[in-house]
Amino acid sequence: MLLLLLLALPLCAGIAVAVFGWTRVTSWFCVADAAAIGGLAVWLAVRVADGSTFHAAGGLLRADALSGFMVLLVAILTMLATSSAVGYVRAEIEHGHTTAAATRWYGALVMAFVATMLFALLAANVALMWVAIEGTTIVTAFLVGHRRTRASLEASWKYVIIGSVGIILAFLGTILLALAARHAGLTSAHSLDWEALTSAHARFDPGVVKLGAALLMLGYGTKVGLAPMHTWLPDAHSQAPAPVSALMSGVLLSVAFYAVLRWKVVIDGVLGIQFLRILLAGAGLLSLTVAALMMIAQRDYKRLLAYSSIEHMGLVAIAASVGTRLAIAALLLHVLAHGLAKGVAFVCSGEILLQEGTTEIASVRGLLARNPLLGGTFGFALIALLGMPPFGLFASEIAIARAGFSAGMGWVITIAFVILLVVVAAVVTHAQRMLLGPAPAGTETRTFATTAVPLVGGLLALAAIGVSIWPIEHLLNAAASVVAR
Amino acid sequence: MSDATYGQLLELAAAVALAASIVMLWRRSLEAIVRTLAVQAAAIAATSLLIGLHDALVAEIAIAALIVVVKAVLIPWLLMRLLRTTTDQRVAEPALNTAASLVIAAVLTLGAFGATASLVQLAGGEEGRLLPVGFAIVLIAYFGLVTRRNALTQIIGFLQLENGIALVALLASTGGSLLVELGTALDLLLAVLVLQVLIVRMQSKLGGLDLDHLQELRD
């Protein structure tokens, strides 16, 4: 019942916007709806934190600590995105970038997007999980192309084609795993059920599982944005409206990685940890390298943030390749902290774009002096993304490193952190040009309170989990033991 | 239906599906390609129907009907309607000429048989023997996607990919879940609708379907 309500809530708000249009009332209704999703997510998180599992809708939906944790992340980013959208969409209309009809679509699709992500997290059936993740590409396609320029058209075309063509491989992988399950004695009703797959995997045919595992990693890896399947990501994330970029970068990539984690449990059970370890570590290091190289000479601050997402997903893949309980707990903390930091950073980037009318790094100067609140939050979000204390990513990166060294993967971690230093140098160079320096006279700007509150709140939450993970410690441990037993 | 006829009919359906892939690689007229895509979907629906009749599975018969409605009728109809509004009726010269493409298609088909040996052995039976055909369709679809830079052929490549995977699912008899089939059919239909809208926008902005016009986003 709880799980069904969780799916119904965003759909209600989406329908409300579709019927009444994007108005003051409906935009605030979305915020209230997001808060309600947050409330339910906390309730779910508390109930699954002891390791228990819930089923609903005749076994169709299922929630354990891992899904509970991810639902919480989706809820937090939804609150950030809906509350910042109130001011953002109003300003877009004032600037003449969008129309009433387009905002109606915008609101309805954003809420549908949230519902699809929640469905992916709560689906008990691995094929339905795939259907939901493929569904996220479809509902976000028009959001990427929201501005209807040539560039956004190109971005949305690449996004849908590369996304769909890539992720369909994951479906083929799912079929092969189900075939292996059928021949290991599972009934056809159970061969796609995650719980049944994890309880019977010892008898699966290793040859078939290897082929299926490679396809699953290629498919979901595309959606996660791991190199070399990442080419769509910088285009899509830089063209989407800021609140949508926040959701796509902050949480959709992690939802796709959630699918990787679910499959990792099954695949490791058949092939041992080594098979996926090599694939994940390789993809992780390659993603880090590509992201670092592209960030050095980057001229566009939204693309800079997009490449930073590829970098962080690379790190997440490395944490998954380590695969111990400590590593998975660190991975989940990293996903949460990255979601918050990237969400705040993208919302800031939207505000900067509204003020400057361009996404070029070179044309933004003296931001701190001109708008201390916006410059400050953007600066702190970047500092957080670089893994500096006191923010959450510092804690998670240290934990990933510790887990890696104690699992004998010290060399991978060492290479990864050397690349991270390059990223730090690149981002600091770009950021100081944008933020520091005197303000040209008469260019001071202000930020809506509806945008400022979520930005500051997000940063405070990020600092809080960097200082102590005490409130989510049980949930984090329970979620980690779903993946690494 | 005796087992021998069943086996022969199943082989025939799979062969038609594979031949359709090769025809799509060979033809340059977009209309002919869309028609061939419909034939391929019909062949896959026939596979589902045959399996359903042979093993007395109601779900497979329902899936056959679903495939016919969505993939053999509705989607080709949408694409045909779209084609009537476009100025480009033919695919531009692909990166690789037709003869070379057909040779590569043959190599990919052989490769598919080689790579899936362990799968065929595990699945066994008449259906299992034909599994590599599905993989060959997948590989040929990818090859077409890479070598042709036309918006409509990219959609067709994606649909062909989906056809190949649907064939694998049917032959591996891991489908059977009507809910999953409905979900994937809905995804597919929505994806085509989204891409169709993007093509309409593309034509008004670029005046054609050639994706080489889309070169703005660079680092």
Taking the C-alpha atoms of residue A448 and residue A98, their distance in angstroms, rounded to an integer, is 19
> Which residues in B lie closer than 8 A to residue A153 (C-beta atoms)?
198, 201-202, 205, 214
SS3 content of chain B, % helix, strand, coil (to 5): 80, 0, 15
Q: How many CB pairs under 8 A join A and B?
A: 132
Taking the C-alpha atoms of residue A36 and residue A10, their distance in angstroms, rounded to an integer, is 9
pLDDT tens by residue, A258-281: 999 999 999 999 999 999 999 999
Task: Classify B2 in phi/psi space as left (phi over 0), alpha (psi -120 to 50) or beta.
Answer: beta
Length of chain A, please?
A: 485
- pLDDT at A47 (0 to 100): 93
Overall average pLDDT of the B125-135 stretch: 91
Q: Does A196 touch chain B (CB under 8 A)?
A: no
> Which residues in A lie closer than 8 A to residue B179 (C-beta atoms)?
125, 128
User: What distance in Å separates residue B129's CA from the closest CA in chain A?
Assistant: 14
Token couple for A327: 């590593």
- pLDDT at A392 (0 to 100): 92
Residue where the block lists tokens 């887990």 = A403
SS3 A72: helix
Q: Does A153 touch chain B (CB under 8 A)?
A: yes
Taking the C-alpha atoms of residue B90 and residue B108, their distance in angstroms, rounded to an integer, is 25
**Are A211 and B118 a contacting pair at CB < 8 A?**
yes
Taking the C-alpha atoms of residue A135 and residue A11, their distance in angstroms, rounded to an integer, is 14
Q: Which candidate from A125, A178, A207 shows the least CB-CB separation from B118?
A: A207
Q: Does A61 touch chain B (CB under 8 A)?
A: no
User: What distance in Å separates residue B200's CA from the closest CA in chain A?
Assistant: 11
Q: Does B194 touch chain A (CB under 8 A)?
A: yes
Neighbours of A247 (CB within 10 A): 29
Q: Does A184 touch chain B (CB under 8 A)?
A: no
User: What distance in Å separates residue B133's CA from the closest CA in chain A?
Assistant: 14
- pLDDT at B121 (0 to 100): 86
pLDDT tens by residue, A16-73: 999 999 999 999 999 999 999 999 999 999 999 998 999 998 889 999 999 999 999 9
> Which residues in A lie closer than 8 A to residue B174 (C-beta atoms)?
175, 178-179, 182, 188, 191-192
Q: Which is more confidently placed, B31 or A449?
A: B31
DSSP letter at A205 equals -
**Are B169 and A145 a contacting pair at CB < 8 A?**
no
% of chain A exceeding 90 in pLDDT? 79
Token couple for A404: 């890696």
Using the predicted structure, report yes or no on whether residue A217 has a pLDDT greater than 90.
Answer: yes
Taking the C-alpha atoms of residue A445 and residue B83, their distance in angstroms, rounded to an integer, is 49
Q: Does A161 touch chain B (CB under 8 A)?
A: yes
Using the predicted structure, report yes or no on whether residue A84 has a pLDDT greater than 80.
Answer: yes
- Phi/psi at A184 (5° precision): -100, 10
Nearest to B23 by CA among B105, B107, B110: B105
Cα–Cα distances (Å) from B134 to A349, B14, B112, in that order, read 45, 8, 9
Taking the C-alpha atoms of residue A228 and residue A174, their distance in angstroms, rounded to an integer, is 21
DSSP letter at B28 equals -
Nearest to A325 by CA among A273, A375, A280: A273
Whether the ipTM is more than 0.90: the answer is: yes
Cis check: omega of the bond before A471, within 30 degrees of 0: no
Neighbours of B31 (CB within 10 A): 14
Q: Which is more confidently placed, B2 or B22?
A: B22
Overall average pLDDT of the B59-70 stretch: 91
Task: Return the H-helix or E-strand segment holding A56.
Answer: strand A54-56
Token couple for A282: 């390789």
Q: Which candidate from B116, B123, B194 shows the least CB-CB separation from A138?
A: B194
> Which residues in B lie closer than 8 A to residue A183 (C-beta atoms)?
122-123
- pLDDT at A146 (0 to 100): 83
Burial of A369 (0-12, 13-18, 19+ CB in 10 A): middle
% of chain A exceeding 70 in pLDDT? 99
Local confidence band at B126 (pLDDT 50, 70, 90 cut-offs): confident
- pLDDT at B176 (0 to 100): 55
